[in-house]
Amino acid sequence: MLLEAKDIVKEYKSTNTKALDHVSIGIEKGEIVGLLGPNGAGKSSLINIIAGLLTANSGDLFWEEKKIINHKLLSYKIGLVPQDIALYPKLSAYENLNFIATQYQIKRKERKLRINHLLQSLGLYKQRNKLISEFSGGMKRRINLIAGLIQQPELLIMDEPTVGIDIQSKQAIQHYLIELNKEGVSMLYTSHMLEEAQNICHRVAIMDQGKIIVTASPGELIKHSPEAINLEDVFIQLTGKELRD
Domain extents in the chain:
84-152
pLDDT (tens digit, 9 = 90+) per residue, 198-215? 999 999 999 999 999 999
Distance CA 7, CA 137 (A): 37
Q: Which residues in 74-231 belong to E strands, given as ranges?
A: 78-81, 155-159, 186-190, 203-208, 211-216
Distance CA 17, CA 2 (A): 30
Question: For the chain, how big is the Rg over CA atoms in Å?
Answer: 18
**pLDDT value of residue 245:** 66
Contact between 34 and 172 (Cβ < 8 Å):
no
**pLDDT value of residue 243:** 72
**Rounded to two decimals, what is the model's pTM?**
0.94
For the CA atoms of 167, 168, 171, 175, what is the dihedral angle to 10 degrees? 180
User: Which of residues 10 and 163 earns the better pLDDT score?
Assistant: 10
Q: In terms of DSSP bridges, do strands 66-67 and 58-63 run parallel, antiparallel, or are they unpaired?
A: antiparallel
pLDDT (tens digit, 9 = 90+) per residue, 96-106? 999 999 999 99
**pLDDT value of residue 17:** 81
What crossing angle do the helices spanning 137-147 and 93-103 adopt, rounded to 10°? 20
Distance CA 165, CA 170 (A): 6
Contact between 33 and 201 (Cβ < 8 Å):
yes
Give the residue among 158, 163, 156 at the shortest CA–CA distance from 140.
163
**pLDDT value of residue 163:** 87
pLDDT (tens digit, 9 = 90+) per residue, 170-181? 899 999 999 999
pLDDT (tens digit, 9 = 90+) per residue, 55-109? 999 999 999 999 999 888 898 999 999 999 989 999 999 999 999 999 999 999 9
